[in-house]
Chain A
Amino acid sequence: GNSVTQMEGPVTLSEEAFLTINCTYTATGYPSLFWYVQYPGEGLQLLLKATKADDKGSNKGFEATYRKETTSFHLEKGSVQVSDSAVYFCALSEGYSTLTFGKGTMLLVSP
């Protein structure tokens, strides 16, 4: 079956530091890949997505590239802000009806 593995947190960084959150996946076909963000007490918001190999998703300074050869979709940001503190979920979808999530990575950014 499908699965998503992402690095455990929490990830603690100082403001303006570089962020990487690793995500690898296992799928039987050619999934679409997503990063969702959950701010404290809120629901999930789509951060970015990529629907085919070598696509790069980007939004609000975050980027992730769909790497089929390494089955990865690592999230990066060049300079984090305190407001980026949240839980980040990597997810995949085959056929688009449902999502398979990783366990989430908490990011804590200090001033």
Chain B
Amino acid sequence: NAGVTQTPKFQVLKTGQSMTLQCAQDMNHEYMSWYRQDPGMGLRLIHYSVGAGITDQGEVPNGYNVSRSTTEDFPLRLLSAAPSQTSVYFCASSSIHIDRGDGYTFGSGTRLTVV
């Protein structure tokens, strides 16, 4: 089925470790973005991309890195994990023609725990 695929679904890291959360979409969407969800905080934007080779920071970018070498993939890298990065991470994609479509499509999320 078409959509946004995130891996892994669950991950436990030790403080200081690095890892990459994967996100792939097969809808040829131009826009992709990463959010983190914390209790009582809603979803907050980490980084986003408006096309291959173009990325920008969101509201809470510190400690995270992104790149977009292809339209389909938008990985999120944690450089040195900290307990404050314990959260649920969602990747989303959308078309520039959002008024004609269904809006943003979200992945199923990655639950990350940093100990």
Residue among A34, A97, A99, A101 having the largest count of chain B Cβ atoms under 10 Å: A97
Residue B107 CB within 8 A of the other chain: yes
Interface size of B by CB at 8 A reads 26
Contact A103 B41 (CB under 8 A): yes
Q: Which residues of A contact B48 (CB under 8 A)?
A: 97-98
In the complex, B45 has a CB within 8 A of chain A: yes
Interface residues on A, range: 20 to 34
Identity of the chain A residue whose Cβ is nearest the Cβ of B38 in the assembled complex: A103
Give A99 to B46 CA distance when docked, in angstroms. Answer: 11
Asked if A22 CB lies within 8 Å of chain B CBs, one says no
Residues on A with C-beta less than 8 A from B58 are 98
Residues of A within 8 A of B31 (CB): 96-98
0 or 1 for each of A65-102: is its CB under 8 Å from B? (1 = yes): 00000000000000000000000010001001111111
Q: How far is the CB of A75 from chain B (nearest CB, A)?
A: 15
For A96, give the chain B residue with the smallest CB separation: B98
Q: Is the CB of A98 within 8 A of B103?
A: no
Chain A min CB distance to B61 (Å): 12
Nearest B residue to A90 via CB reads B42
Residues of B within 8 A of A (CB): 31, 33, 35, 40-45, 48, 50, 58, 90, 92, 94-96, 98-99, 102-104, 106-109
